[in-house]
Amino acid sequence: MSNVKPFMDANFLLTTETAQHLYHNHASKMPIIDYHCHLSPKMIAEDYRFKTITELWLGGDHYKWRAMRANGVNEKYITGDASDWEKFQKWAETVPYTFRNPLYHWTHLELRTAFGITETLNPESARRIYDACNAKLAEEGMSARGLMKHYRVEVVCTTDDPIDSLEYHRSIRESGFEVKVLPTWRPDKAMAVNDSAAYQKYISQLGEVSGIQIQTYAQLLQALQARHDFFASEGCKVADHGVSAFPWAACTEAEATTLFAKVISGNELTSEEVAKLQTAILLELCRMNHAKGWVQQLHFGPMRNVNSRMFRQLGPDTGFDTIGDYSNGQALARFLDALNVDDKLAKTILYNINPGENAVIGAMAANFQDGITPGKIQFGSGWWFNDQIDGMEQQMNTLSLQGLLSRFVGMLTDSRSFVSYPRHEYFRRILCNLVGKDVQEGLIPECEMPRVEAMIEDICYKNAKQYFNF
């Protein structure tokens, strides 16, 4: 099979000469702005050094955990007490079964770009690669900060709760670290009114850090505003809100006051009451975002913790969430309109987890562009289960058809790993292949190549830098 294309060569995913030109001469040269991730600020502040590739690579990576479970690997070797080598070995045994899953590409991109390893990972190569990676991790530049510099990261926005002290962000800033590490306001727990006991506990914590005794709905908003102001003083420019079914139920201030009193006194709300109070709180949070000039990200659609037995055993974010089949279009339209009618709609990025809603969300964004801010309402990149070739192409094709791909703010890692930055490379190669094919086939005129080249650089870096005002 002499005509078989080499695996993951310099032109990986780049099927035309134009695509290769756009990637190598433009996209690959752009720094990285990671405007949404789940990296640990503590690890960055302490410039954490990873003891093994297992700790770096498999710790907290629920994408890999799901694949290992599907391959029949016992939980002992995933989240259990097996040794780091045993866990790595089980992952290596799983990798050959991940053909056509994005994990196969991510795995080898990460090995190549972080460790210089071009050998494919499988049971036969596992020990060699494990030892080589661990030896590399012992080198000076392989710390948390070193890896960020290695990947030419310019800005990172972490994910932070209103009760967080942000002490590590302050420490990073004061240390003079060249990568800008900013907090992101993620107040999901302030909206989690569906569990009275857990909500009471959280509200107590929020009251402590804000210095406001929260007994009423008005005091809740005062406390959230105080923490919102604090986040701004620490350099925050981005808010992030995650929901399952997008909430919309009209709710007056008097109703919100009554419902808050009910839940804070230990009584459970009905599903209709939950929707009302969540709508009211989220609207107020989004008005705060607008007043500060922040960008807000709205993530919606997942069904979380659907495996109750494993949730009780391992807790959240362990690989038991899935794509929800909610219908979000009407609720989202009403929510955005409620903000827009009073001119309180901030720059907004919409992320849907169900690809079946792509056309709905792509079209929705166009309804609320303001004719002032280019790309004010963004259709966000392929998120979570859609973070792969098909998902990213679908998202970009929909965005192209319903809006302006040229104004797209591009990719993010959404990751807890310091070696997930090749996802930006993956995205950039897919983008360049998509656009390069259009040029090659005469769908975009060759005479417009300077504009095409600029568009690629914009999507990979410049649009985000301008949009977020970094």
Strands 295-300 and 347-352: parallel
State the first-to-last Cα distance of the chain, in angstroms, to the nearest integer: 49
Q: How many helices (H) and strands (E) does the chain have?
A: 20, 10
pLDDT at 286 over 80: yes
Contact criterion met (CB below 8 Å) for 121 and 108: yes
Separation in Å, CA 117 to CA 113, 126, 424: 8, 12, 19
Q: In terms of domains, do 103 and 151 share one?
A: no
Any idea what the CATH number is for the domain that residue 124 is in? Answer: 1.10.2020.10
Any idea what the CATH number is for the domain that residue 293 is in? Answer: 3.20.20.140
Q: In terms of domains, do 134 and 283 share one?
A: no
> In which domain, by residue range, is 209 found?
31-41+147-388+401-420
Residue 364 binned pLDDT confidence (cut-offs 50, 70, 90): very high
Q: In terms of domains, do 341 and 203 share one?
A: yes
The three-point CA angle 453-458-463 to 5° equals 170
Domain membership of residue 159 (yes or no) is: yes
Residue 1 binned pLDDT confidence (cut-offs 50, 70, 90): low
Q: Tell me which residue of 90, 58, 63, 66 sits closest to 77, measured CA to CA.
A: 90
Q: Can you tell me whether residue 205 is helix, strand or coil?
A: helix
How is residue 161 written in tokens? 């709760």
Q: In terms of domains, do 293 and 314 share one?
A: yes
Q: In terms of domains, do 134 and 81 share one?
A: yes
pLDDT at 26 over 70: yes
The total domain count for the chain is 2
Over residues 333-359, the mean pLDDT reads 97
pTM: predicted TM-score of the whole model, two decimal places: 0.97
pLDDT at 57: 95
Q: In terms of domains, do 133 and 155 share one?
A: no
How is residue 99 written in tokens? 């053909």
Q: In terms of domains, do 156 and 204 share one?
A: yes
